[in-house]
Amino acid sequence: MKRRFPLHGWIGLLLIAAFWTLNWVLPGLRTQWAFFPLWLGYALTVDALVFLRTDTSLLTRSWKKYLGLFLASSPVWWLFELANRRLQNWTYVGAEAFSPFLFGVWATLNFTTVIPAVFGSAELVRSYLRKPVKGPIIRPTKSVTIGFFLAGWMMLAAMAAWPKIFFPFVWISLYFIMEPVNIWLGRRSLVEWTKDGDWRPVVTLWLGVLLTAFFWEMWNFLSYPKWVYHVPWGDWLHVFEMPLLGYGGYLPFALELFALYHFLAGLFGGKKTEYVIETSGG
C-alpha cells in the first residue's frame, strides 16, 4: 500500500512557508518569535518525510517521547551557552533590545528545537543508508571507557584554560565524557554499533546534523536577532555567518547530542530506549 505524506508534514510545510517569509521580509525585531514556528515546521516536515519513506518516524512512534526531545533540547543547548561565557565564540546581534529575563525566555523556547531537528534529519539520512557502514571497531572495554572519560575532561580543562587555542573542544569533549557515563550506567551509547564495526548511526548523525546546519546557518543569515561568530583562528571562507571550518564542529556536536539525550532519557526511565535510531529495520 502506497504511503501518503502525513498531515503533520503539511502543517510543517505551511509553518516553513509562513515563517521563513515573515522572518526574511519583515523589518526590525522578528526572529525571536519566528524562530520556533519555523524550526517546528522543519522538524515536522523532516519527520513526515521519514514516515513517508519508512512507515515509522520519531513522532509517529511516540508523540510523548517526541515532546521529550523538545524538553531535553533546551537544557542541553544551555550547556553550550554556559561554555560560551568563557569562549565568546558567538554573540547574538539584537539581543541588547531585550532584558536578560526576556532574552532567556525567548532563547529557552527556541533552543527546544535543536535536538528534534538533528535527530529527525539523522533518521531521514538513515532511511537512505540500508546497509551497515563499516568503520573501526571500538568496544566498551575498561581501558577504552576510562580513556574516553579522562580525555574528555582533559579537553574540557584545556578549553577552559586556553580558550583561544582549544575552543573547538567544546564540540567534542562532552561526548568523550558522557559516552562512558552512559555505558557505565547501562544507557544507550554508540558503542552498541561500533563494537561490531558498524558506523551507520554515527554517519547518519553526522550527515543529519550537516543537513540541519545548512538550514540553521541559511535562515540565520537574514534574521534579526541573529548569531554571529568570533573565533580566534579559522575565521575565513564564510558560508553564511559560519566559517567553513566551523561546519566540521557540527559532526562531533551531533554525537554529544546523542549522548546527552540518552543520559537525560535514562533519568526518566528510558534507560535502554531504542526510540532514536531504531536497531531494527532497514
Span 69-88, pLDDT tens digits: 999 999 999 999 999 999 99
pLDDT at residue 276, as a whole number:
80
112 grid coordinates: 527546544
SS3 call for 205: helix
Domains of the chain, residue spans: 7-267
Q: What is the rounded CA–CA span in Å between residue 113 and residue 156? A: 26
Backbone angles phi, psi at 134, to 5 degrees: -75, 140
In angstroms, the CA 217 to CA 253 distance is 15
Residue 208 has pLDDT above 90, yes or no: yes
Quick one: pLDDT at residue 131? 87
> 83 vs 100, 167, 173, 184, CA distance in Å?
18, 10, 11, 25
* The three three-digit cell numbers of residue 75, written as one number: 537544557
* Predicted confidence band of residue 241 (pLDDT cuts 50, 70, 90): very high
Strands (E), 75-232: 90-93, 226-229
**For residue 274, what pLDDT band results from cuts at 50, 70 and 90?**
confident
Confidence band, pLDDT 50/70/90 cuts, at residue 280: very low
If you average pLDDT over every residue of the chain, what do you get?
95
Query: What is the SS3 string spanning 117-128?
Result: HHHHHHHHHHCC
Maximum distance among all alpha carbons in the chain?
Answer: 59
Q: What average pLDDT does the segment 38-47 reach?
A: 98
Q: How far apart are CA 207 and CA 44, in angstroms?
A: 18
For CA atoms 40, 45, 48, 53, give the dihedral sign.
Answer: negative
**Between 278 and 185, whose confidence is greater?**
185
CA-based nearest residue to 113, from 62, 38, 57, 10 = 38
Dig out the grid coordinates for 102 from the structure: 526576556
- In the numeric block, which cell numbers belong to residue 223? 534574521
Please give the pLDDT value at position 3: 78
pLDDT class of 269 with cuts at 50, 70, 90: confident
Measured from the Cβ of residue 145, the count of other Cβ atoms closer than 10 Å reads: 19
Helix/strand/coil for 218: helix
Banded pLDDT at 281 (limits 50, 70, 90): very low
pLDDT at 282: 37
Give per-residue pLDDT as tens, 128-173.
Answer: 998 889 999 999 999 999 999 999 999 999 999 999 999 999 999 9
Q: Give CA–CA dist 146/154, Å, rounded.
A: 12
User: Which residue's entry shows cell 531521514?
Assistant: 124
Q: How many CA atoms lie within 13 A of 45 on its CB side?
A: 14
Task: Look at residue 221 and tell me whether its pLDDT is greater than 90.
Answer: yes
Q: What is the pLDDT of residue 275?
A: 81
